[in-house]
Amino acid sequence: MEGVSYQRFPKIKIREVKDDYMKFELRETDASIANALRRVMISEVPTIAIDLVEIEVNSSVLNDEFIAHRLGLVPLISERAMAMRFSRDCDACDGDGQCEYCSVEFHLRAKCINDTTLDVTSKDLYSSDHTVVPVDFSDASSTIDNTESRGIIIVKLRRGQELILRAIARKGIGKDHAKWSPAATVTFMYEPEIYINEELMETLTMEEKQEFVDSSPTKVFDINPRNGQVYVHNAENYAYDDEVLKKAEAMGKPGLVEIHAKEDSFIFTVETTGGIKASQLLINAIEILKQKLDAVRLSADTVEADEQFGELGAHMRGG
């Protein structure tokens, strides 16, 4: 009964990794896998975000729900998220989200006592768990250049204004609310394959060659100054805009270049909010996708129901 395997063995090559940025090549698989990974990275890899705010004192210019919303959007270090429980299926606290398995408590206390405006930032949030803290963008290896980082501004206070609150952060996914998405951007493109018909290209004058090269809105082609030949400067700059193909057609030289999208080769760009590392985001996405596949396996009772159906069918056919 065991069928033959149609499994693929994809290859992966990293081009660049930073804490919150990664570029890699994925080969020998199809667009459905590439797109599933992209979708899972954006909306199904869990992170931790503030989900409940109890305001004790708020005499700032922003109303309570405005502040609660801003707090929710603050990215928190979420290395713990994969191992945490969702509040809705936590049996330690019956889902009210107040226990250590499914929540992290934060406190914020700020008052402006002089004439200079006080910035209340994510650095004023005190966490009950030192592993779950607001993302610090002053990190040296981060792509964001912020030398005098003071955190993310939540509200500004003038003399006499005060803000005291307690917040509960919970595990969640981007599908529930975008504040839980670990991804700033996740994109992939098909790797382009460009052939130049050298013979036809040599029938062009220098001016025509330059015109052809300039017809691309992005720098895909260039001219070698030594031998005057058109060469592919960077195939990946091609945006599948067809401009060079239209130009070739207009010059009466169809087939001057041929451009194909390789169907099994993808270039990914991943940027995170800083909550989890870009490399970890891909690992978590693969893990989540595996869990999702496992959840859609047929259960014993669906198989049993079909067997009964089969017997009934056989019985009916047999008369």
Partner 1 sequence: MNAPDRYERFVVPEGVSKVSYERDTKIINAATFTVEREDHTIGNILRMQLHRDENVLFAGYKLPHPLQYKILIRIQTTSQSSPMQAYNQAINDLDKELDHLKNAFEVELARHNASQQREF
Q: Is 279 in the site for partner 1 (CB under 8 A)?
A: yes
Cβ–Cβ contacts within 10 Å for residue 27, how many? 14
**Residues in 163-222 that interact with partner 1 by CB under 8 A:** 173, 175-177
Shorter beta-carbon distance to partner 1: residue 198 or 306: 306
**Nearest alpha-carbon partner for 61 in 118, 125, 107:** 118
Q: Is 287 in the site for partner 1 (CB under 8 A)?
A: yes
Residues in the chain: 319
Q: 97, 90 in Cβ contact below 8 A? A: yes
Residue type, 144: I
Candidate list 65, 198, 306, 311; residue touching partner 1; CB under 8 A = 306
Residue type, 315: H
Q: Is 64 in the site for partner 1 (CB under 8 A)?
A: no
Shorter beta-carbon distance to partner 1: residue 150 or 177: 177
Q: Is 223 in the site for partner 1 (CB under 8 A)?
A: no
Candidate list 14, 61, 113, 153; residue touching partner 1; CB under 8 A = 14
What would you report as the CA-atom Rg of the chain, rounded to the nearest whole angstrom? 28
Q: What is residue 235's three-state secondary structure? A: helix
Shortest Å distance, C-beta 238 to partner 1: 25
**Helix spans in 54-179 (H):** 64-72
Measured CA to CA, the distance from residue 181 to residue 75 in angstroms comes to 9
Measured CA to CA, the distance from residue 49 to residue 76 in angstroms comes to 6
**Nearest alpha-carbon partner for 181 in 43, 19, 38, 39:** 43
Site residue total, partner 1 (CB under 8 A): 49
Q: Is 253 in the site for partner 1 (CB under 8 A)?
A: no
Candidate list 114, 147, 294, 300; residue touching partner 1; CB under 8 A = 294
**Nearest alpha-carbon partner for 102 in 46, 178, 164:** 46
Site string for Zn ion, 70-99 (x = CB under 5 A): --------------------x-xx-----x
Q: 265, 191 in Cβ contact below 8 A? A: yes
Measured CA to CA, the distance from residue 223 to residue 204 in angstroms comes to 12
Shortest Å distance, C-beta 288 to partner 1: 10
Site string for Zn ion, 120-159 (x = CB under 5 A): ----------------------------------------
Shortest Å distance, C-beta 102 to Zn ion: 3
Tokens of residue 73, six digits: 């959007």
Terminal CA-to-CA distance of the chain, rounded, Å? 28
Shorter beta-carbon distance to Zn ion: residue 86 or 190: 86
Q: Is 56 in the site for partner 1 (CB under 8 A)?
A: no
Q: Is 7 in the site for partner 1 (CB under 8 A)?
A: yes
Candidate list 150, 219, 260, 290; residue touching partner 1; CB under 8 A = 290
Which pairs with CB-CB distance under 8 Å and at least 24 residues apart come from 102-105? 102/170, 102/171, 103/168, 103/169, 103/170, 104/48, 104/76, 104/128, 104/129, 104/132, 104/168, 104/169, 104/170, 105/166, 105/167, 105/168, 105/169
Site string for partner 1, 80-119 (x = CB under 8 A): --------x-------------------------------
Binding site for partner 1 (CB under 8 A): 1, 3, 5-14, 17, 24, 29-30, 32-33, 35-36, 39-40, 44, 88, 173, 175-177, 279, 282-283, 286-287, 289-290, 292-299, 301-303, 305-306, 309
Binding site for Zn ion (CB under 5 A): 90, 92-93, 99, 101-102
